[in-house]
Structure 1
Amino acid sequence: MQSYLGTVAAALGAAAIALLLVEVVHRVIRRLGRRSLLMTELTDHAHRPFQVAGTILAVQFGVRFSTGYAVGTAWRQVVLHVLVLAVIASAAWLVASLFVVIEDTALARFRVDVPNNRHARRVRTQVVLLRRLTIAVIVILTVGVMLMTFPAVRGIGAGVLTSAGVVGVVAALAAQSLLGNVFAGLQLAFSDAVRLDDVVVVEGEWGRIEELTLSYVVVQIWDDRRLILPTSYFTSTPFENWTRTEAAVLGTAEFDVDWAIPVQAMREELRRLVESSDLWDGRVCVLQVTDATGGMIRVRALVSAADAGSLWDLRCLVREQLVAWVRDQRPTALPRIRAEVGDGVGALPWQAVQPRRPVRRLPETEAPDDARVFGGSEDGQARSEAFVGREEHADSRR
């Protein structure tokens, strides 16, 4: 009984001393690191695991030294073994928390709440995946070290090592899909193909990358549903990434109208509409006739916005307002099917309603900017060079 009481007293005394020392170190670091983000993160996130690890280590030393170095009773061996396992687990927790502190400090340098945050989102994606991989490796190593403390596991270690080749092949075949997703996640993190908060179109759904792990990717669809896909999907299946280079994007709104539509007047109405909306970013506003078959013509309005959400609203606004403009101002341009009965060479008064205001017709030599996608402005000229190539490059190939 005296031995038991001595051991308990030694353990409690060691724990008290450890807690006191940890608290002193915690207060000193907090006072010295008021202006340091790293020190602040250490005091906030690493304090608890440091406290637990220090206390368990002190208790282990107290129990070991209070009962002497000779081999004692069975209860002493069991207690010491449990304390060794606790020390290993707490040390792993402390190491993982230190890695998390370093990663959070690195992430704090990159803001994602700014308009042009492509680089910040890329770094954030890589750091988050590295954090998950680091924690997974630490957990695996910790479990392995804890198992090696059992004599039975150490005894069969030699046999396991001799058959490591066969076991490795079997494990690789069994975990082929899992390992494929893990490597695909690392490839996504460092290939810059997709990042957190990227706007993508996958499986016909338009959404945003909400979460990216080593095994799966969560896509937040525009209607707040979640599409969960394995990471290998993004390395083996084509998908659309609207914000890979920048957040600003282009979008279209198409209309099938009659041949009687005054295209220039519709173009001017589109320009007036986008200039009065705060959804337009001022880059691209183009209206073109892209098809003229089947008794109707197809008019396409191409507009730009600062991000995918604004573009969606802008496209809906353009579609709504131009439909109302055609209906109210140019009713003769509504889609129709014509049938001529009688003499086809006579003059048919098919245009029964005249425009309410005269249409200003441009000379044939004057090409408005609103009618050109690949030219007419600096943005259009840059787009032309990107898709066609500079004139001097074309001349050099002739």
Structure 2
Amino acid sequence: MRSIDPLLTELVGWFTWLPWWAESLALIVGCCAVVLPLHGVAFRAMQRAAAGKSLFWRSLVARTHGPSRLGLLIVAISAAAAPLTWDVRLVVNQVLLVALVTLCGWCCAIAIHIWSVVYLRGYKLDTEDNLLARKHVTQVRILRRAAITLVVLVTISVALMTFEPVRQYGVSLLASAGAAGLILGLAMQPVLSNLVAGIQIAITQPIRIEDAVIVENEWGWVEEITATYVVVRLWDWRRLVLPLTYFIQKPFQNWTRDGASLIGSVMLYLDHTAPIEAMRRKLAEIAAGSRLWDGNVVNLQVSDARETVIEVRMLVSARNAPQTWDLRCEVREKMLAYLRTEHPGALPRHRAEWVAPGAEGRHGPAAGAGPGVRVETVPQ
């Protein structure tokens, strides 16, 4: 059986009438035209074979389409460049070296992605109690972005170092005084600070994916955590974009830091004669009849007393932030309807003392007040 190099040399001899550059290009294009269809057939066969396999094998096959094609092209072009002239082979070898470095970096990025997909397959964010899932998803997504960014930087650096002028310039830059490094560090300070903040958030986790937070007086959910910023999905479908350093340097409210369940408060301002015990029984009835209540907390207290009204605070708990909000609204609506129907006198009222003609008020006649004039307003 004849080897490949003599066959390629004989094939090149058929095109001796072409210029050297056209001859080299024709040989390389011919090899690529043979390899690419073969790769397509082999990849479709691998897809059919992995259709019934586990998530790992399906992700591996789907993600290796591009790298496997690039690897075959590197092998084919390397074989095609063997019979070419020395000058052409130098250029082709340099291109192949850069392609090989790119292939290695690409494979590392794919390995990181497949690992994250397989690791997170047991954690679902659409469940009711998703605290553990949010914790792992946040950590893996941030660390995956940081690792892929590092792989890209290393790949670009190694690819540039394959060129002699760039390698010498890099060595001289590293060996030079610290002025250039200081300027570069100052210029990259926002990027580096966000990168460090992202790693700190992944470790300490002040926020997680789908956490309910209040930032900048806006309430919403953490939708995405990238390498440089955080996207908060607000309750009215707007998006609030904040840098990562915001959640390290400034205070904010996290309603689901340790669990999804929340206690919601409803404040009512009523007359001093409001039936507190009857309202407490009605609140328990409203909570028990609501599908939003989780059965943990229901309470009613008079939290303050002012000159004209008392402050009544009602507490109810729900499984998550959206249900807590809806339950608060439901309790407020039903309690007000109950008071209007059963105890209309419990709603806020203003009282006045009326002085009949010739009579004096409890505190004496008002100055300049004539007969039949309202002279004072009192709480009771």
Say whether the fold is shared (TM-score over 0.5): yes
Aligned to 1:212: 225
The one-letter amino acid paired with 2:49 is R
Q: Is the 8 A contact 1:14 1:59 kept in 2?
A: yes
Q: Is the 8 A contact 2:31 2:77 kept in 1?
A: no
The one-letter amino acid paired with 2:74 is L
Q: Is the 8 A contact 1:253 1:319 kept in 2?
A: yes
Q: Is the 8 A contact 2:27 2:80 kept in 1?
A: no
Could you tell me the TM-score, scaled by structure 2's length?
0.82
The one-letter amino acid paired with 1:165 is G
Among 38, 42, 65, the alignment partner of 2:82 is 65
**2:189 maps to 1:176:** yes
**Distance apart, 1:337 and its partner CA:** 1.9
Report SS of the residue matched to 1:114.
Answer: coil
Among 290, 298, 313, the alignment partner of 2:303 is 290
- Provide the alpha-carbon RMSD of the alignment: 2.5
Distance 1:314 1:243, change over 3 A: same
CA distance in 1, matches of 2:173, 2:182: 13
Deviation digits for residues 283-319 of structure 1, max 9, x if unmatched? 1110110111222111111001111001111111111
Among 71, 94, 100, the alignment partner of 2:113 is 100
**Distance apart, 1:195 and its partner CA:** 0.3
Q: After TM superposition, list the pairs within 5 Å mapping 1:1-398 onto structure 2.
A: 1-2=15-16, 5=23, 8-9=26-27, 12-13=30-31, 16=34, 20=38, 24=42, 27=45, 31=49, 34-52=52-70, 54-67=71-84, 72-73=86-87, 75-163=88-176, 165-342=178-355, 344=362
Distance 1:309 1:10, change over 3 A: closer
**Distance apart, 1:42 and its partner CA:** 0.4
**Distance apart, 1:164 and its partner CA:** 6.3
Moved more, 293-302 or 43-52: 43-52
Report SS of the residue matched to 1:339.
Answer: strand
Q: Unpaired segments of 5 or more residues in structure 1? A: 346-398
CA distance in 2, matches of 1:314, 1:237: 30
CA distance in 2, matches of 1:183, 1:96: 20
Moved more, 154-163 or 177-186: 154-163
Deviation digits for residues 173-217 of structure 1, max 9, x if unmatched? 222222111111111111021100000011111100001012110
Distance 1:20 1:135, change over 3 A: same
Aligned to 1:373: none
Q: Is the 8 A contact 1:14 1:58 kept in 2?
A: no
Report SS of the residue matched to 2:81.
Answer: helix
Distance 1:28 1:312, change over 3 A: closer
CA distance in 1, matches of 2:178, 2:132: 42
Could you tell me the TM-score, scaled by structure 1's length?
0.78
The count of corresponding residues between Structure 1 and Structure 2 is 340
Deviation digits for residues 311-360 of structure 1, max 9, x if unmatched? 11111111111112222221111111222235649xxxxxxxxxxxxxxx
CA distance in 2, matches of 1:26, 1:105: 23
**Distance apart, 1:158 and its partner CA:** 3.1
Deviation digits for residues 10-35 of structure 1, max 9, x if unmatched? 66347745874786588469637943
Q: Unpaired segments of 5 or more residues in structure 2? A: 1-14, 356-360, 364-380
CA distance in 2, matches of 1:276, 1:256: 24
CA distance in 2, matches of 1:133, 1:23: 35
**Distance apart, 1:114 and its partner CA:** 1.3
CA distance in 2, matches of 1:6, 1:296: 93
**Distance apart, 1:6 and its partner CA:** 7.0
Distance 1:9 1:177, change over 3 A: closer
Larger Rg: 2
CA distance in 1, matches of 2:310, 2:191: 52
Moved more, 266-275 or 242-251: 266-275
Report SS of the residue matched to 1:116.
Answer: coil
Deviation digits for residues 96-129 of structure 1, max 9, x if unmatched? 1222111111111222221111111111111111
Q: Is the 8 A contact 1:60 1:80 kept in 2?
A: no
Q: Is the 8 A contact 2:35 2:76 kept in 1?
A: no
